[in-house]
Amino acid sequence: MKPLPLALLLCVGCHSATLSDEETIKAVAAAQAPGEGFQDFKFGQPASEYPGLDTVTSSPEGVSFTRKGEAVAYGLVPVHDVIYTFRNGGFSQVSFNSSGLSNSNKLQGCLEQLFGPLEKGEDNRYKAQTGKAMLLFSRTYSGDATAIIVSEEDFADMLST
């Protein structure tokens, strides 16, 4: 089966009568190279490469942005509160949330396709690493989830401070 274009897979409300959830998860994994970034954001690229960013926070450690009016989905999973963080002049981290148990299960499936099995920690927290990225994933007891994808270099910097 030919993979679908990434833009098609990453839009809110992407539904396909021909693709099962499992096939969609695999298509997302085929389209998104693990460890390179998130969607069109590539680790290390400056914020000036990405139009439409609105500053959320700014500090000496970095600047975090949202894209006003952006609707994002990861596979068939709608995600919200997407925050793009730039440190040392380049894209270094993204965080996003999913709502509801079904969406969180699908999101975890997508992330496992990209990062491999997630290592379970305490309190419904998981982590994995692949390529040049670290994944931190957590779930609430109500079923909501948060994912943070951090460049390997930036994760090492955060641990040393």
Q: If you write DSSP's letter for every residue of 34-60 in order, what string do you get?
A: TTSEETTEETT--GGGSTTEEEEEEET
pLDDT score recorded for residue 140: 92
pLDDT score recorded for residue 8: 28
pTM of the model: 0.77
Whether 94 maps to a domain, the answer reads yes
User: Is the model's pLDDT at 58 over the cut of 60?
Assistant: yes
Tally of domains within the chain: 1
User: Is the model's pLDDT at 3 over the cut of 80?
Assistant: no
Whether 1 maps to a domain, the answer reads no
Contact 122, 105 (CB under 8 A): no
Give SS3 for 3: coil
Whether 40 maps to a domain, the answer reads yes
Residue with tokens 């989905």: 73
In angstroms, the CA 152 to CA 143 distance is: 28
Whether 24 maps to a domain, the answer reads yes
pLDDT score recorded for residue 4: 32
pLDDT score recorded for residue 9: 29
pLDDT tens sequence across 76-128 = 788 999 999 999 999 999 999 999 999 899 889 888 888 889 999 988 899 99
pLDDT score recorded for residue 145: 93
Q: Across the strands, what pairs with 35?
A: none
In angstroms, the CA 41 to CA 64 distance is: 13
Give one DSSP letter per residue of 61-77, joined into a string.
TEEEEEETT--EEETTE
Whether 103 maps to a domain, the answer reads yes
pLDDT tens sequence across 130-159 = 878 899 999 998 889 999 988 877 665 554
Q: Which domain holds residue 11?
A: 6-160
Whether 16 maps to a domain, the answer reads yes
Burial 42-78 (b: 16+ CB within 10 A, else e): ebbbebeebeebeeeeeeeebbbbeeeeeebbbbbbb
User: Is the model's pLDDT at 56 over the cut of 80?
Assistant: yes
In angstroms, the CA 157 to CA 161 distance is: 7
